[in-house]
Amino acid sequence: MRSTLEKQFGSVPVTSSELKLALQEYRAPLARIAMHQRRGEIIPLRRNLYLCSPESYSRELIANRLLAPSYVSYETVLSACGIIPERVYAVRSSCLARSRSFDNETGHYEYTCVPRNYYPEGVTINRTPDGLAYLAARPEKAICDLILATAGLRLQSAKAVREYLECYLRADMEVVASWDADLVHTLAGLTEKKKNELLNLERFLRHECL
């Protein structure tokens, strides 16, 4: 049976202040929160952030709320879109704050800082199965983020880009062929880090992909 808090908040992560307001009819709201937690009716996600729907939730939505502003990206997006074959267990996101990670009962979450000007380009609004909105990178942005974040990765030609996509990531090249090269060009212009790698990705998409 769904708890009263789950009926009220659903799968949206909520703050301790929101929980205390929802439980204000009780003399000791904090003790009430602790009781719901002991019963397994709410899950602590981090300090002052909780989930009232322990059996039905979106890890992508949780990722957005654990650290804001942020958007889901990297292998998380590439796997969800069927571009890479591997199942991804950590939810990886880009953010504007320092890079960090969180662990809670719903899984492992990683955040990597990206340049402020670069951050908003290529980010879209996705929906959970129950219609809740969260921010995620378009696949082109996700691969650019991955290239920027991978230490030691040097893609010095379009040929190297192909090898990276086909051999290392085992990407679905038919899907890659549909990517927007203009977006990659725009992203390359918004960062100095690995700019040449992104420009080589653009060249590959325009001239050599399939």
List, for residues 117-157, the tens digit of each pLDDT value.
999 999 999 999 889 999 999 999 999 999 999 999 999 99
The percentage of residues in the chain with a pLDDT greater than 70, rounded to a whole number, is 98
Residues 23 and 43 in one domain: yes
Residue with token string 């397994």: 40
Cβ contact 161:200 at 8 Å = yes
Pair (109, 178) in one structural domain: yes
The reply to whether 182 and 127 lie within a common domain is yes
Q: Are 185 and 149 found together in one domain?
A: yes
Residues 21 and 64 occupy one common structural domain: no
Based on the fold, state whether residues 74 and 32 are members of the same structural domain: no
Same domain, yes or no: 71 and 45: no
Query: What is the structure's pLDDT at 1?
Result: 42
Helix (H) or strand (E) holding 14: strand 14-15
Question: Whole domain around residue 191: which residue ranges?
Answer: 59-208
Q: Are residues 113 and 142 in the same domain?
A: yes
Q: Are residues 126 and 143 in the same domain?
A: yes
Instruction: Work out how many domains the chain is built from and give that number.
Output: 2
Q: Which of 8-12, 58-62, 69-73, 170-174 has the lowest mean pLDDT?
A: 8-12
What residues have CB less than 8 Å from 15, skipping those under 6 apart? Answer: 48, 49, 50
Note whether 34 and 84 are same-domain residues: no
Q: What are phi and psi of 161, to 5 degrees?
A: -60, -45
Cα–Cα distance for residue pair 129/149, rounded to 1 Å: 30
CA distance 114 to 120: 10
Judge if 34 and 65 occupy the same domain. Answer: no
Statement to judge: residues 93 and 119 lie in one domain? yes
For 88-102, what is the HEC assignment? CCCEEEEECCCCEEE
